[in-house]
Amino acid sequence: MHARIVIVDDRSTNLRVYAQYVAMMGPEFSAKCFHSAIEALKWLETETADLLVVDYRMPEMNGAEFISKIRSRTVGAHIPAIIITARQDRECRITALDAGATDFLQTPVSHIEFRDRALLLLGQHYRQQELKQSLENNRTGSDSADADDKSGKSMLEQIIDTTPILINATDRNGKFLFLNSYQAALFGRDPEQLVGRSISDIMEPDLVDRETRRNNVILETGISIPNFEEKFVSEGIELIFHCNKSPLLNKDNQTIGILTTGLDITARKFAEEHRTHLALHDMLTGLPNRTLLAQWMRTAIDESNASGKAAALLLLDLDRFKVINDTRGHQTGDVLLRQVAERLISALDSNGFAARIGGDEFAIVLQNLDDNSSAAAVCTKLLAKIGEPYTIGGVEQLIGASIGVALIPEDGTSPDELLRLADLAMYEAKSSGRNCFCFFSPHMNHIAQMNAGIESDLRDALNNDQLFLEYQPIVDTASGNYVGLEALVRWNHPVRGRLCPSDFIKVANDSGLIGRIGTWVIESVCKQIALFAEEGIELPHVAVNVSPKQFQYAAMCSEILGLVAKYAIPRGKLAIEITEELLIDNSQKVHEQLATLRAGGIQISIDDFGTGYSSLQYLRDLPATRLKIDQTFISRIETSATDRAIISTIAHLAHALNMRVVAEGVETEAQFTLLRASGCDEVQGYLLGRPLSVRDLHSLFKDGAEPFRLVAK
């Protein structure tokens, strides 16, 4: 039999791909392609199809509307239909199911997926058509029979035979007394061939057992069994029926057998199961979602308590996934997430359960563990699997993962609490260098509780003016002149006293308060520059540290430039300092933001250079004006020839890129001298001056600051 597959998609590339998939299925399959849903509907008014493949998002009408119009027709109402959806189209799938969609494929669609789904639906469709044709043939035969023929069927028998419902009657021994043509066609026989035969001769053994048990209950009690579901397999195709059984009575009201009826609900069951699957599974990877994970965790907790065997929850977060998503696009990111999911499944045995709970975060439940080392072994295996190269679009990608582990029941017996504890352990793994795993400890919980207190206090600090700034001088190595200042935020905590950024910046970043703090710092600096200018005091440029987190806020650039304009800050007077972390998580958006700030007269300095993993390409492309060498190199410059060579190399590189070089953390005159000889343009540190209050800053610059001079020896 030749199968005609109609494909409807407004994108030519998709049509070509799907048509090629059909051609690869063999010569007995052909594709009819349409760019327009309206043209496809018009063609289907006079032509037939065996399968519809329809994209959901189309300009003239969506896939659900297209299917709904097909289902409203007499011809074509039962054609199986596959809807092509994208990863975020959960609601679209529900709408399509309500309209009569039979199955779904998620883009990008592979040839194997397309072929397998198409063959399955075509097989079911052909079987249903054969059953329908069998009934039609029986009806036609009855119509042509001699009305006076005593062997002909009664009108009631003809109605029963032509009804697309399974109907049969068996005696007390399980032999067929009667079955209609619809049920006989399921077994590929005529009714006359099956009457008198036992159900055990015709049905599968498992089905015979279930039928016999139900029949015996009715024979013993005389009570009907309504509303149960049963599966029948006809020529390899599984069909589901909604069935009822009742006693077959004689004229004396005695039970002489069983009457069984069944309605084919295969399509409805598919829709119900698909709805349930959507509610409990992640659409992108097919893994269970957070809801199903919670159910599984409760089961694992109960079984652990009952058996005494330990279990564990693993929270896994991918490292460097954002870089790939930003540089190669979300489609590549989606493919990568699916491949990660496949690797997780392949790495787990029957005691492991993997779920995707959002973004690039996965959870794994491990059961029947002998000890902690068993969980550690699984973590090591997972890290190795995930760390293997991925090839996507012909390009090799490498990622890692950080895993946090919470033990059941040792660490907790509540799904929500275990997730929280595993999350703490996962962030500890990230802080320990990434691509590793970490078990939860009570110390982590103590830190988390303390951080929660800091977050609350920090909100109060922003509302009650508890933050203030100090300014550390930056000196030109050649002239000794003060050529810059770095603004450093401090917190006058009402209980703990004076706090430095190391005491609260991590909490500010994690909580999102860094945005408000960053805005406050920049406005305070602009205001201070303007106030000094009103007194005739000209400050050198002031550098402000900007967290990578702040670059995620859409309004950051316009906010900074707005404050510069508000306080009439001259070009070049304000600088922002960014870290190599921002370069690692490089994206076009970040480049655009930096270019906008640079065009607005804001200087850009790369802080802590040499401690991260930024590439020279990123360094070349950034519109930076200064490069600050991290103080770890400075501290060893007097004793390490290697560090002196590194500093000299960085200086040459920066000068080639038209950047000035700043060394921070300078504490001795020997360091100053060596840095000047190595090519550093500017230095800052305790040798040049500790961070100054606004009053001390005023005193330093009110009459023009004297150049810094090394003490003569």
Q: Are residues 388 and 510 in the same domain?
A: no
* 604 alpha carbon, distance to own chain's centre: 34
Residue 221 in this model has a pLDDT that exceeds 50:
yes
3-class SS at 366?
Answer: strand
User: Whole-number mean pLDDT of the chain?
Assistant: 86
Angle between helices 90-99 and 63-71 (to 10 degrees): 10
Q: Are residues 420 and 467 in the same domain?
A: no
| H or E segment and range at residue 218 | helix 205-221
Residue 139 in this model has a pLDDT that exceeds 50:
no
Residue 460 in this model has a pLDDT that exceeds 70:
yes
Tokens of 14: 């998709």
Q: Are residues 435 and 455 in the same domain?
A: no
**188 torsion bin: left (phi>0), alpha (psi -120 to 50), beta (else):** left
The CA distance from 253 to 189, in Å, is 32
Of 631, 622, 547, nearest to 581 by C-alpha is 547
User: 440, 475, 491 — which closes off a domain?
Assistant: 440
Task: Report, as an integer, the average pLDDT of 267-284.
Answer: 78
Residue 124 in this model has a pLDDT that exceeds 80:
no
542 phi/psi in degrees, rounded to 5? -115, 125
Domains contained in the chain, number? 4
Answer yes or no: is 275 within a domain.
Answer: no
Q: Are 708 and 688 in contact (CB under 8 A)?
A: yes
Beta strands in 322-436 (DSSP E): 352-358, 361-369, 390-392, 395-397, 400-408
Answer yes or no: is 158 within a domain.
Answer: no
% of the chain surpassing 70 pLDDT: 90
Answer yes or no: is 148 within a domain.
Answer: no
pLDDT band at 575 (very low <50, low <70, confident <90, very high): very high
The CA distance from 412 to 448, in Å, is 16
* Neighbouring residues of 220: CB distance < 8 A, sequence distance ≥ 6: none
Q: Are residues 480 and 535 in the same domain?
A: yes
pLDDT band at 146 (very low <50, low <70, confident <90, very high): very low
Instruction: Compute CA distances 343 → 10, 285, 419, whole Å.
Output: 34, 11, 22
Q: Are residues 436 and 455 in the same domain?
A: no
Q: Are 132 and 179 in contact (CB under 8 A)?
A: no
User: 375, 405, 440 — which closes off a domain?
Assistant: 440
Residue 590: CATH number of its domain: 3.20.20.450
pLDDT at position 282 is 86
| H or E segment and range at residue 487 | strand 482-493
pLDDT band at 583 (very low <50, low <70, confident <90, very high): low
The CA distance from 10 to 644, in Å, is 63
Tokens of 313: 């929850």
Of 200, 204, 202, nearest to 215 by C-alpha is 200
78-87, 170-179, 625-634: the lowest-pLDDT one: 78-87
Q: Are residues 669 and 568 in the same domain?
A: yes
Q: Are residues 173 and 119 in the same domain?
A: no
The CA distance from 274 to 103, in Å, is 8
- Quickly tell me which residue has 């295969």 as its tokens: 266
pLDDT at position 713 is 47
Q: Are 15 and 33 in contact (CB under 8 A)?
A: yes
User: 440, 465, 480 — which closes off a domain?
Assistant: 440
- Quickly tell me which residue has 């343009």 as its tokens: 681
Q: Are residues 260 and 286 in the same domain?
A: no
**609 torsion bin: left (phi>0), alpha (psi -120 to 50), beta (else):** beta
pLDDT at position 679 is 94
Residue 63: CATH number of its domain: 3.40.50.2300
Residue 513 CB burial class (10 angstroms; 0-12, 13-18, ≥19): buried
Tokens of 403: 């895993």
Three-state SS across 290-319?
HHHHHHHHHHHHHHHHHHCCEEEEEEEEEE
Residue 214: CATH number of its domain: 3.30.450.20
Task: Give the domain range for residue 42.
Answer: 3-132
Q: Are residues 525 and 630 in the same domain?
A: yes
Beta strands in 547-659 (DSSP E): 574-579, 603-609, 626-629
Compute how many other C-beta atoms are within 10 angstroms of the C-beta atom of residue 221.
Answer: 11
Task: Report, as an integer, the average pLDDT of 117-143.
Answer: 65
Of 35, 56, 32, nearest to 44 by C-alpha is 32
3-class SS at 240?
Answer: strand
pLDDT band at 491 (very low <50, low <70, confident <90, very high): very high
* Neighbouring residues of 479: CB distance < 8 A, sequence distance ≥ 6: 707
DSSP character at residue 72: T
Q: Are residues 476 and 584 in the same domain?
A: yes
Any idea of the CA torsion for 290, 295, 296, 301, to the nearest 10 degrees?
A: 120
pLDDT at position 565 is 95
404 phi/psi in degrees, rounded to 5? -110, 140
Angle (CA) 325-328-331 rounded to 5° is 70
Answer yes or no: is 144 within a domain.
Answer: no
pLDDT at position 661 is 95
Tokens of 634: 């400075």
pLDDT tens per residue, range 326-370:
778 888 888 999 999 999 999 998 889 999 998 899 999 999 998
38-47, 410-419, 424-433: the lowest-pLDDT one: 424-433
Task: Report, as an integer, the average pLDDT of 19-36.
Answer: 90
pLDDT band at 473 (very low <50, low <70, confident <90, very high): very high
* 90 alpha carbon, distance to own chain's centre: 13
pLDDT at position 587 is 64
Q: Are 187 and 168 in contact (CB under 8 A)?
A: no
* Neighbouring residues of 92: CB distance < 8 A, sequence distance ≥ 6: 56, 57, 62, 63, 64, 83, 85
Radius of gyration of the chain from its Cα atoms, rounded to whole angstroms: 37
Q: Are 469 and 413 in contact (CB under 8 A)?
A: no
Q: Are 406 and 413 in contact (CB under 8 A)?
A: no
Answer yes or no: is 388 within a domain.
Answer: yes
pLDDT band at 448 (very low <50, low <70, confident <90, very high): low
pLDDT tens per residue, range 517-539:
999 999 999 999 999 999 999 99
Of 323, 357, 356, 352, nearest to 340 by C-alpha is 356
DSSP character at residue 706: P
Q: Is the peptide bond before 108 cis (omega within 30 degrees of 0)?
A: yes
Residue 148 CB burial class (10 angstroms; 0-12, 13-18, ≥19): exposed
pLDDT band at 148 (very low <50, low <70, confident <90, very high): very low
Of 308, 418, 311, 414, nearest to 372 by C-alpha is 311
Q: Are residues 229 and 355 in the same domain?
A: no
- Spell out the alpha helix ranges (H) of 535-615: 556-566, 580-584, 588-599
pLDDT at position 150 is 38
pLDDT band at 211 (very low <50, low <70, confident <90, very high): very high
Answer yes or no: is 713 within a domain.
Answer: no
pLDDT at position 157 is 66
- Quickly tell me which residue has 């987190």 as its tokens: 549
20-34, 37-51, 343-357, 599-613: the lowest-pLDDT one: 599-613
Residue 205 in this model has a pLDDT that exceeds 80:
yes
pLDDT at position 214 is 94
Task: Report, as an integer, the average pLDDT of 200-228.
Answer: 92
The CA distance from 180 to 30, in Å, is 36
pLDDT at position 615 is 55
Residue 147 in this model has a pLDDT that exceeds 50:
no
Of 425, 331, 322, 333, nearest to 372 by C-alpha is 425
Answer yes or no: is 147 within a domain.
Answer: no
The CA distance from 607 to 661, in Å, is 11
- Quickly tell me which residue has 């209609």 as its tokens: 180
pLDDT at position 132 is 59
Answer yes or no: is 446 within a domain.
Answer: no
| C-beta contacts of 386-390 below 8 A and 24+ residues apart | 386/316, 386/318, 386/340, 386/343, 386/344, 387/435, 388/343, 390/336, 390/339
pLDDT band at 316 (very low <50, low <70, confident <90, very high): very high
pLDDT at position 585 is 53
Of 459, 531, 537, 444, nearest to 493 by C-alpha is 459
Reported pTM? 0.51
* Neighbouring residues of 433: CB distance < 8 A, sequence distance ≥ 6: none
3-class SS at 587?
Answer: coil
Of 218, 238, 409, nearest to 308 by C-alpha is 409
Residue 400: CATH number of its domain: 3.30.70.270
* Neighbouring residues of 280: CB distance < 8 A, sequence distance ≥ 6: 288, 289, 291, 292
Q: Are residues 434 and 457 in the same domain?
A: no
The CA distance from 420 to 638, in Å, is 47
